[in-house]
C-alpha cells in the first residue's frame, strides 16, 4: 500500500470487507461507484464479477451464499440500480442468505438537489433488507461496514445494505475498524426437546418431523434421519428450501406438496396427529383460493415447535435423538444409490426427471425453477448420486440463472445444473452472459412450453374457468416463439435442442461433459 497517500473511503471499505471474509463482489457499478472500482486495482483479494443487470448481481450473491455459506458483496448504483436487484434480494431474504449490499449514492452535498438519479435509497432498500444504513461520515464508514459484514455472517444470514455517498467514497478514510464478532444461533430451548421426543415416539407413522431450512443438510439432516429410523415418524421438509442435501447416502425426506390449489398438500398431511417443527413453520397454502383453506395441517393435530428458524436446529435435533436413545447420526435408513435407466421416447415430465436422475453428476448443484415442467423431478431424483438441490425461497421469478452464476463461483470443482421454465428464464436472461464471461461450469436446461403454464392452472384454480382469447393472450408466450438457441448464442453460450428424451440425454451429457456453460432447450 502506498503510505504517502491516505487511504480513501472506498479503499477502506474494500479492506474492511476482505478482512471480514467477504472476498467476492457481484457488481453492476455506475458513476457513484467508480472509486470502489478504482480501489480494486490497488487492493488484491476481492474477486469482482460483472452482471449486465442488477437482478443477476443479487441473485448470484444469493446462490453464492447458499453453496458456500459465506456472504458476498454486491455493488449497485443508486436507487434504481438497487430497485432492479430487489426481486432476487426478496428471494435471498426469504432464504435467510447473508449478503452485504454496497449501494453508491450521490455525494452528501449533491443529494438535496433532486437530480435525475436522486432517490430515497434507504426506502428502496428497507423492504428487502434486514439492516440498512447510510454512512454519514468518513469516520463511521469502516465501523458501518464491519457491522454490515458481521450481520451478513450471522447464522442464519441477513441482508445488510450499506449506502455509501460518493464523497465519503473519495475522501480520506477515517479510522479502520476491527472485525466484529458474529452472534451465534440462539440455543436450544431444553423444555421443547422432551416434548418433541415424546411426540415423535408417541406418533410413530402418524407423526411428522417437519424440517425447515436449517435441517435439510449436514449433521442436522443426519440426526433427523436417525430420529425417523428410531421412531418410524415421517420425515418431511417445507416445500422450498435454500439448499437440500439429497441422493444416495443422505436421509430421504419428502416435501410438503406444492399447493396449487391445496388438495395435494391436504391429502399428504391428512391423518397426522403430531408435528414437530425443526426450523419449519406451520404449513400454509402458497396462495389463497376462493373457498379453500390456507392452513394445511389437520385441525386436531398437535404442533410442537422444537426450534425456530433462528435457533440452533442441529443441536436441537441431536438432543431429541439422544433423548430417544439414538447414539449416532450415521447411516441408518439413508437412500441407496439407484439410478433409473435412461428412458427413451417423447418428452414427458416423468421422462425428463428420469434422464436427470440417470445422468446427474456426483455433488452436482441443482437449481430448480422448472415450475410446471419440473413437478416430478424431485421424486425421480431421490436415489441418484449425492447432490444439492436449491429452490427459490421467495418465489420471485428469474432466480435460477443468476443463482447458478453465484453457485458456480462458490464451488469451482462442482457442476451446476440450472433448470428453468422459458417464462422464468426471460426475467433474467443476462445471466447467460456472466456465465460465458467467467467460463462457469453450468448446464442450463430451458423447458420451452411457450406458456406461463402455471398460470393456466391458476386461472382455473381461481374459479375463472377456461380462459377466453384475451385472457389466453396473457398466459401464452409462443407468438413469437422465443428462440433459445439464438438467445444463448447472443450471450456467448453454446447450446443444443432436445425434442425427445434421447436428445435430452444426449444434450445433458454434452452439458455435463463441457467445461463452460451449455444451454439445452427442451421443446415441450
Task: Pick out residues in 327-386 that bind a second copy (CB under 8 A).
Answer: none
Minimum distance between the CB of residue 51 and a second copy, rounded to whole angstroms? 10
Q: Give the x/- contact pattern for a second copy in 21-40, rule: CB under 8 A.
A: ------x-xxxx-xx-xx-x
**Which of 458, 375, 430 lies closest to 58 in space, CA to CA?**
430
Minimum distance between the CB of residue 434 and a second copy, rounded to whole angstroms? 10
86 or 200: CB nearest a second copy: 86
Distance CA 393, CA 405 (A): 17
300 or 479: CB nearest a second copy: 479
- Binding a second copy (rule: CB under 8 A), the pick from 52, 229, 303, 324 is 52
Q: Give the x/- contact pattern for a second copy in 107-126, rule: CB under 8 A.
A: x-xx--xxxxx-xx--xx-x
Q: Which three cell numbers stand for residue 501?
A: 428424451
Question: What is the chain's length?
Answer: 524
Omega of the bond prior to 45 within 30 degrees of 0, cis? Answer: no
Looking at residues 279 to 318 of the shown chain, list those that interact with a second copy (rule: CB under 8 A): 281, 284-288, 290, 294
Please check whether residue 83 is in contact with residue 129, taking contact to mean a CB–CB distance below 8 angstroms: no
344 or 486: CB nearest a second copy: 486
Distance of CA 521 to CAs 303, 323, 451, 475, 488, Å?
44, 51, 14, 20, 10
**Which of 311, 252, 261 lies closest to 281 in space, CA to CA?**
311
116 or 412: CB nearest a second copy: 116
- Binding a second copy (rule: CB under 8 A), the pick from 245, 310, 458, 502 is 458
- Binding a second copy (rule: CB under 8 A), the pick from 13, 145, 146, 166 is 166
Q: Which residues of 362-399 are buried (b: 16+ CB within 10 A; e: fewer)?
A: eebbbbbbbbbbbebbbebbbbbbbbbbbbbbbbbbbb
Q: Which three cell numbers stand for residue 87?
A: 426481486
Told to check if 470 binds a second copy by CB under 8 A, we report: yes
Tell me the window of 86-94, 262-270, 310-318, 327-335 that interacts with a second copy (CB under 8 A): 86-94
Please check whether residue 142 is in contact with residue 179, taking contact to mean a CB–CB distance below 8 angstroms: no
- DSSP codes of every residue in 290-339: TT--SB-S-TT-EEEEEE-TTB-HHHHHHHHHHHTT----SSTTPPP--P
Minimum distance between the CB of residue 273 and a second copy, rounded to whole angstroms? 23
Distance CA 19, CA 179 (A): 7
Distance of CA 105 to CAs 73, 76, 118, 452, Å?
16, 9, 8, 37
Told to check if 474 binds a second copy by CB under 8 A, we report: yes
How far is CA 18 from its chain centroid?
23
201 or 523: CB nearest a second copy: 523
275 or 319: CB nearest a second copy: 275
Q: Give the x/- contact pattern for a second copy in 218-247, rule: CB under 8 A.
A: ----------------------x-------
How far is CA 197 from its chain centroid?
31
What single DSSP character describes residue 398? S
Told to check if 270 binds a second copy by CB under 8 A, we report: no
Minimum distance between the CB of residue 94 and a second copy, rounded to whole angstroms? 6
Tell me the window of 156-164, 172-180, 268-276, 486-494 that interacts with a second copy (CB under 8 A): 486-494
Minimum distance between the CB of residue 26 and a second copy, rounded to whole angstroms? 11
Radius of gyration, alpha carbons of the chain: 24
Told to check if 475 binds a second copy by CB under 8 A, we report: yes
Count of residues interacting with a second copy (CB under 8 A): 102
Looking at residues 248 to 267 of the shown chain, list those that interact with a second copy (rule: CB under 8 A): 260
376 or 485: CB nearest a second copy: 485
Amino acid at each position: 500500500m502506498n503510505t504517502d497517500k491516505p487511504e480513501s473511503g472506498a479503499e477502506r471499505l474494500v479492506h474492511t470487507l476482505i478482512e471480514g471474509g467477504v472476498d467476492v463482489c457481484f457488481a453492476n457499478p455506475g458513476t457513484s461507484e467508480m472509486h470502489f472500482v478504482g480501489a480494486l486495482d490497488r487492493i488484491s483479494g476481492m474477486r469482482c464479477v460483472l452482471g449486465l443487470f442488477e437482478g443477476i448481481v443479487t441473485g448470484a450473491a444469493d446462490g453464492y451464499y447458499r453453496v458456500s455459506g459465506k456472504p458476498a458483496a454486491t455493488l449497485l448504483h443508486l436507487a434504481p440500480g438497487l430497485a432492479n436487484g430487489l426481486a432476487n434480494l426478496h428471494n435471498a431474504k426469504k432464504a435467510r442468505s447473508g449478503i452485504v449490499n454496497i449501494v453508491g449514492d450521490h455525494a452528501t452535498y449533491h443529494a438535496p438537489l433532486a437530480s435525475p438519479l436522486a432517490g430515497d435509497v434507504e426506502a428502496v432498500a428497507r423492504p428487502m433488507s434486514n439492516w440498512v444504513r447510510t454512512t454519514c461520515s468518513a469516520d463511521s464508514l469502516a465501523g458501518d461496514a464491519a457491522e454490515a459484514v458481521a450481520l451478513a455472517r450471522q447464522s442464519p444470514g441477513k441482508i445488510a445494505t450499506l449506502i455509501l455517498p460518493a464523497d465519503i467514497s473519495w475522501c480520506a478514510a477515517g479510522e479502520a475498524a476491527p472485525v466484529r464478532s458474529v452472534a451465534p444461533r440462539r440455543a436450544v430451548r431444553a423444555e421443547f426437546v422432551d416434548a418433541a421426543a415424546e411426540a415423535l415416539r408417541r406418533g410413530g407413522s402418524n407423526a411428522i418431523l417437519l424440517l425447515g431450512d436449517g435441517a435439510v443438510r449436514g449433521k442436522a439432516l443426519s440426526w433427523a434421519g436417525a430420529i425417523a429410523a428410531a421412531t418410524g415418524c415421517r420425515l418431511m421438509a417445507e416445500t422450498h428450501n435454500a439448499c437440500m442435501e439429497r441422493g444416495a447416502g443422505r436421509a430421504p425426506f419428502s416435501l410438503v406438496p406444492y399447493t396449487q390449489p391445496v388438495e395435494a398438500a391436504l391429502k399428504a398431511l391428512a391423518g397426522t396427529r403430531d408435528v414437530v417443527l425443526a426450523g419449519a413453520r406451520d404449513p400454509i397454502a402458497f396462495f389463497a383460493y376462493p373457498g379453500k383453506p390456507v392452513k394445511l395441517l389437520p385441525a386436531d393435530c398437535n404442533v410442537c415447535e422444537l426450534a425456530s428458524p433462528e435457533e440452533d436446529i442441529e443441536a436441537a435435533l441431536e438432543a431429541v435423538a439422544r433423548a430417544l436413545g439414538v447414539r449416532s447420526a450415521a447411516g441408518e435408513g439413508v437412500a441407496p444409490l439407484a439410478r433409473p435407466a435412461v428412458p427413451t421416447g417423447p418428452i414427458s415430465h416423468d421422462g425428463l426427471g428420469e434422464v436427470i436422475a440417470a445422468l446427474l453428476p456426483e455433488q452436482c448443484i441443482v437449481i430448480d425453477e422448472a415450475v410446471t415442467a419440473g413437478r416430478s423431478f424431485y421424486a425421480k431424483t431421490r436415489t441418484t448420486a449425492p447432490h444439492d438441490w436449491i429452490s427459490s425461497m421467495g418465489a420471485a421469478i428469474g432466480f435460477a440463472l443468476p443463482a447458478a452464476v453465484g453457485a458456480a463461483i462458490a464451488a469451482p470443482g462442482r457442476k451446476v445444473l440450472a433448470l428453468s421454465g422459458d417464462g422464468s428464464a426471460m426475467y433474467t436472461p443476462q445471466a447467460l452472459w456472466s456465465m460465458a464471461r467467467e467460463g462457469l461450469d453450468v448446464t442450463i436446461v430451458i423447458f420451452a412450453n411457450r406458456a406461463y403454464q402455471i398460470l393456466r392452472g391458476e386461472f382455473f384454480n381461481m374459479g375463472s374457468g377456461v380462459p377466453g382469447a384475451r385472457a389466453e393472450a396473457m398466459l401464452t408466450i409462443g407468438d413469437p416463439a422465443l428462440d433459445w438457441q439464438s438467445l444463448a448464442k447472443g450471450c456467448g453460450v453454446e447450446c443444443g435442442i432436445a425434442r425427445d428424451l434421447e436428445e435430452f440425454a444426449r444434450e445433458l451429457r454434452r452439458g455435463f461433459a463441457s467445461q463452460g456453460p451449455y444451454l439445452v432447450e427442451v421443446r415441450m
